[in-house]
Amino acid sequence: MKKVLITGAGGQLGQCFQKQAGKFPDLEFVFATSEMFDLTLTPVMDIYLRKHQFDYCINCAAYTNVEQAESNREMAFHVNADSVKHLARACRDNDVTLIHFSTDYVFDGCKKTLYSEEDETSPINIYGGSKLMGEESIQKEMEKYFIFRTSWLFSDIGHNFYNTIIKRAEAGEELNITTEQTGTPTNAYDLAEFVLRIIDQDSSEYGIYHYSNLGEATWYDFAAEILRLTGNSGKVELKENNSFVTVAKRPEYSVLSKDKTLRTFGQQILPWQESLAALVNRNH
C-alpha cells in the first residue's frame, strides 16, 4: 500500500483531496495542515518525512492571494519558492515522489493559442514569478516529481469565484465581471481525482504537465454559467466589464493545452461547463 502525505490539507485543494481519497482504498493518506507540517520549517520537514516513510507528497500548500502578493512579495516567494525548494530536497533525500501545483500565471498571456508545457514562461505578476521559481527549484533539486500547472480553481469549498458569485447573487448584488481575461475554470475535485489516479497507476512519467478542464471562458462567461446553472440568472444583474482594474497584472489569455497530459496518462478530462454542472447538481 502506497503512503501519501498531503500538505496544506486545510485549503480548498487539500480538502478536495480529502473528499476524493475514499475512492482509492489502496492508498494510505496522511492529511497535514500547516500546523502539522510547516513548509517554512526545513528541519521539521526532513524529520517528518524520515519518520513516516511516505511514497508520495502532494503539496497543496501555497500562497495564492494574487493581489496581496504584489505588496507582500517576500512572503509569496518564501512560501511558493524557498519553502518548495526545501521540500523538494527533503523529498529527494527520503525517496519521496513530489507532486506539486503551479499556475497558468507563469505565462504572460501574449500568445493567443493554447500554451503548451514547452512554451516560454514570462510571468507578469509577483504570484506567477514566485510559482515559477518554485517549479525551477523542484527541477533542480530532484528527478521524481510531477508539476501540474492549473488555472481558475473552483469548488464548493472555501473562498473562490464559484462560491463568491453564488453568495453575491443570493444577496441580490449587481455583478460587474471582467471580459478581459480568457482562461479555463478547473474543478478542484477533478484535479484531485486525476492526480490520485496517477499515483494509483504507479506512473513514473515525471515532469511538468498542464491540467485544467477542457474549453475556455472569460470570467464573465464563467459567472453567467454559474448563475444559469444555479437558477440565479433572473435574480441579479450581470454586467460585462472591459476595464476592470486590479493591483496585479493578469495574463489576457492563459488557456493551457492538455495534449501532453492526455497522451501520457490516458485519463478523461471533462469540459469546464460539464464539470461545473456536476458540482451544481450535487449542491442544489
Catalytic residues: 127
63 SS3 class? coil
In sequence order, the β-bridge partners of residue 238 are 175
Element (H, E) at 138: helix 126-141
Cell 509569496, residue located: 76
Q: Return the ∠ at Cα 127 (arms to 125 and 132), rounded to 5°.
A: 95
242's grid cell = 472591459
Provide the 10 A C-beta neighbour count for residue 170.
12
Q: Please give the C-alpha separations between residue 49 and each of 45, 160, 231, 280, in angstroms, as whole numbers.
A: 6, 31, 47, 38
In sequence order, the β-bridge partners of residue 272 are none
Structural contact between residues 208 and 138, judged by C-beta atoms closer than 8 angstroms: no
